[in-house]
Amino acid sequence: MTVRLALVSGNSFLRLAIDTILRDRDCLIEPVDSIALLVAESLQDGIDLVLLDTALLGAAQPHASLLGVTPPILAIDSCGLRLGAVAATRFAAVLAVCNDGRLDVAALKRSLPTAVEACTRQAFAQGASAAPPAVPLPVADRLAPRALLLIGASTGGPEALIAFLAALGPPPVPAVVAIHMPADQTGFFSDHLSQRTGLRVIETAAGDVPAAGSIAVLRGGANYRIARGRAGFVLRQSLAAAGPYRPSIDMLFGSAAEASLICDAVVLSGMGEDGAGGAARIEAAGGRVFVQRPDSCVVAGMPAATLAACHAAQALTPPAIAARLIRDARATGGAS
């Protein structure tokens, strides 16, 4: 039975440790940067258990921020916080994994799997959770139908994106574009893409991802994570910093990998390295990575960095990437 976990922490080291410890377990982990974000954006839908880093709790009335959290909470006390009555009344369990003011990874490794199993078993027995989603497709199936098409671009990317989308036509799976642009430009750019390609292109912020056949362009000036929704996929704005560019391609790609979505990732012309780390995570999760051939780029920084980060990334021109996706979509019955 797959268990959906919301991991509420701003500590990237703690997130990495938990992801590593639970990697071989039947869990889907969705990272959330703050308690306020968990409550304000209804990120609790379909969540079986919340893993809460107690470092996020304020010293004054620490229970107040938890009032809007409905799933059971497993508190991970990595900072030696004295929780007092809050622990007894609000948490399903508390893991004390602080040693001399620091996170004790060994203690976390010993106690976390058992605690997650016990808390979720109790929640399911009480009928507190909806039925969990189906187990994701196996990572080893390299030609399994893809859930999403994710595209990243920056300097030189607009023309490359037009060439790619014009050759691709209506995408057979939901498609999301992250391009480094200010918030007041992505709406105009979406209209321009639609006019140049003849496709349905929509500027999108937080909310449902448009269905297959359309292209969603992330609104500029903010970062987003993608996750499974009740009837498809949803985008959620993130307050976390993720490099100098927004929207962060790394965050978009990485969130898809964290949700165990098998995706195709495309990295087009751009300066810097944004997208390389996220693309490596998509590859590790069973997806494929395509980059614009560096000699065809206006600026080859992002494609070159992605090629260096991914073992099996393929470098092609934008129209050739589109042709490959069309061919593979036909081979897998409609999804690339």
Give the CATH number, domain containing residue 113.
Answer: 3.40.50.2300
Whether residues 92 and 173 share a domain: the answer is: no
Model pLDDT, residue 43:
64
Residue 140, domain member (yes or no): no
Whether residues 183 and 279 share a domain: the answer is: yes
Among 75, 90, 125, the domain-final residue is 125
Distance between CA atoms of 158 and 46, rounded to whole angstroms?
37
Residue 306, domain member (yes or no): yes
| Alpha helix stretches (DSSP H) within the chain | 12-21, 35-40, 85-90, 105-125, 157-168, 186-197, 249-258, 276-284, 301-309, 318-331
Beta-carbon contacts of 85 under 8 Å, excluding residues fewer than 6 positions away, are: none
Distance between CA atoms of 200 and 320, rounded to whole angstroms?
21
Model pLDDT, residue 129:
38
* 241-275 pLDDT, tens digit each: 667 788 999 999 999 998 888 899 999 999 999 99
Whether residues 174 and 274 share a domain: the answer is: yes
Q: Contact at 8 Å (CB) between 141 and 255?
A: no
Whether residues 184 and 298 share a domain: the answer is: yes
- Give me the active site residues, please: 154, 180, 274
The 3-state DSSP class for residue 14 equals: helix
Residue 311, domain member (yes or no): yes
* Residue 98 belongs to domain spanning: 3-125
Number of domains observed in the structure of the chain: 2
Whether residues 197 and 106 share a domain: the answer is: no
Distance between CA atoms of 248 and 225, rounded to whole angstroms?
9
Whether residues 119 and 224 share a domain: the answer is: no
Residue 81, domain member (yes or no): yes
Q: Contact at 8 Å (CB) between 112 and 138?
A: no
Distance between CA atoms of 203 and 190, rounded to whole angstroms?
6
Residue 134, domain member (yes or no): no
Whether residues 74 and 159 share a domain: the answer is: no
Distance between CA atoms of 69 and 16, rounded to whole angstroms?
23
Whether residues 92 and 159 share a domain: the answer is: no
Predicted confidence pLDDT, tens digits, the chain (336 residues): 578 888 888 888 888 889 888 887 778 888 887 777 776 655 666 788 889 888 877 554 455 567 677 788 888 887 776 655 555 557 888 888 877 778 888 888 888 988 888 888 776 665 543 433 333 333 333 445 578 999 999 999 999 999 999 999 999 899 999 999 999 999 999 999 999 999 999 999 888 888 889 999 999 989 999 988 777 889 998 877 667 788 999 999 999 998 888 899 999 999 999 999 999 999 988 899 999 999 999 999 999 999 999 988 999 999 999 998 888 877 665 544
Distance between CA atoms of 132 and 232, rounded to whole angstroms?
15
Whether residues 120 and 193 share a domain: the answer is: no
Could you tell me how many residues make up the chain? 336
Whether residues 118 and 152 share a domain: the answer is: no
Among 72, 93, 125, the domain-final residue is 125
Residue 137, domain member (yes or no): no
Model pLDDT, residue 141:
36
* 127-178 pLDDT, tens digit each: 543 433 333 333 333 445 578 999 999 999 999 999 999 999 999 899 999 9
CATH number at residue 191: 3.40.50.180
Q: Contact at 8 Å (CB) between 281 and 253?
A: yes
Whether residues 97 and 187 share a domain: the answer is: no
Model pLDDT, residue 130:
40
Distance between CA atoms of 197 and 163, rounded to whole angstroms?
8
Whether residues 60 and 203 share a domain: the answer is: no
Distance between CA atoms of 206 and 279, rounded to whole angstroms?
22
Distance between CA atoms of 49 and 47, rounded to whole angstroms?
6
Following CA atoms 26, 30, 33, 37 in sequence, which dihedral angle do they give, to the nearest 10 degrees?
-130
Residue 131, domain member (yes or no): no
